[in-house]
Amino acid sequence: MKSQSLLAAAIAALANVKLVSAHTFIWGVWVNGVDQGTNVGIRSPAYNGAPPRGYNNSPVKNLTSIDLRCNVLGENPNPHTIKVKPGDNLTFDWHHNNRTKADDVIDFSHHGPILAYISPDPPTENSFVKIFEKGLYELPEKEFAPGKWAISTELKSGFGIMNVRVPAGLKAGPYLIRGELIALHEADASFEINPRRGAQFYPNCVQIEVEGDGTVELPSGVSFPGAYKYGAPGIVHNVCFHV
Residue 146's pLDDT is: 86
Mean pLDDT for 219-232 is 97
For residue range 56-81, list pLDDT tens digits in order: 778 999 999 999 999 998 999 999 99
Which of the listed ranges 4-18, 139-153, 178-192 does the model predict with the highest average pLDDT? 178-192
Per-residue pLDDT, 217: 97
**pLDDT per position as a tens digit, 90-118:** 999 999 989 999 999 999 899 999 999 99
What does pLDDT average to over the chain?
A: 88
Question: Residue 2: which residues within 8 A CB-CB, separation 6 or more?
Answer: none
> Which pLDDT belongs to residue 54?
61
Share of the chain above pLDDT 70, in %: 86
The pLDDT-based confidence of 22 (bands split at 50, 70, 90) is: low
**The pLDDT of residue 19:** 40
CATH of 24-210, one of 2.80.10.50, 2.70.50.70, 2.40.180.10, 3.40.50.10070: 2.70.50.70
User: How confident is the model over 130-140, as a mean pLDDT?
Assistant: 92
pTM: 0.88
The 10s digit of each residue's pLDDT in 46-56 is 776 666 656 67
Domain boundaries, the chain: 24-210
Give CA–CA dist 219/229, Å, rounded: 22
- What percentage of the chain reaches a pLDDT higher than 90? 75
Q: Checking DSSP bridges between strand 200-210 and strand 82-84, what pairing results, if any?
A: parallel
Cα 35 to Cα 42: distance, rounded to the nearest angstrom: 13
Q: Provide CB contacts within 8 A for 84, sequence distance 6+.
A: 31, 90, 166, 208, 209, 210, 211
Give yes or no for residue 242 having a pLDDT over 90. Answer: no
Q: Rounded to 5, what percent of the chain is helix, strand, coil?
A: 15, 30, 55
Residue 67: name the closest of 184, 197, 236, 180 by CA: 180
